[in-house]
């Protein structure tokens, strides 16, 4: 049963374009995350939000920015995409901090031509 929803499933774009991915969770969780999964399947945390506060911000390029309207939504915007941004972007949520289980969405696959 899916409780973390991501759109779109796939996106193909050209270098330099802006893209935005959406994520919504219906679990009532307090914390949401964005991860990047590269072509080698490595999973790296990008951002996490707790009560609309950014609590973890790993060293990601400034062209990436998370956007949250409420605790159920956390979108990801990429200004001026680069070829190395091609990856699967996974959204997740958890009840509180990382001692609790994280629930992942199905991911958005980005291809930058």
Partner 1 sequence: QQKVQQSPESLSVPEGGMASFNCTSSDRNFQYFWWYRQHSGEGPKALMSIFSDGDKKEGRFTAHLNKASLHVSLHIRDSQPSDSALYFCAASDQGGRALIFGTGTTVSVSP
Binding mask 52-91 for partner 1 (x = CB under 8 A): ----x-x-------------------------------x-
Q: Dump the DSSP string for 3-61.
A: -EEEE-SEEEE-TT--EEEEEEE-S--SEEEEEEE-TT--EEEEEEEETTEEEEE-S--
Distance between CA 3 and CA 15 in Å, rounded? 32
- The nearest distance, CB 59 to partner 1, in angstroms, is 12
- Per CB under 8 A, the list member of 25, 48, 75, 93 interacting with partner 1 is 48
99 binds partner 1 (CB under 8 A): yes
| Binding residues vs partner 1 (CB under 8 A) | 4, 33, 35, 41-45, 48, 56, 58, 90, 92, 96-99, 101-107
């Amino acid at each position: 049963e899916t409780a973390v929803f991501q759109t779109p499933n796939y996106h193909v774009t050209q270098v330099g374009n802006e893209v935005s991915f959406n994520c919504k969770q219906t679990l009532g969780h307090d914390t949401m995350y964005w991860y990047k999964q590269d072509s080698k399947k490595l999973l790296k945390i990008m951002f996490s939000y707790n009560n609309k506060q950014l609590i973890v911000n790993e060293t990601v390029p400034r062209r990436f920015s998370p956007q949250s309207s409420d605790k159920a939504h956390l979108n990801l915007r990429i200004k001026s995409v680069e070829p190395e941004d091609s990856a699967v972007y996974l959204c997740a949520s958890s009840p509180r901090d990382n001692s609790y289980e994280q629930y992942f969405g199905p991911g958005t696959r980005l291809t930058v031509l």
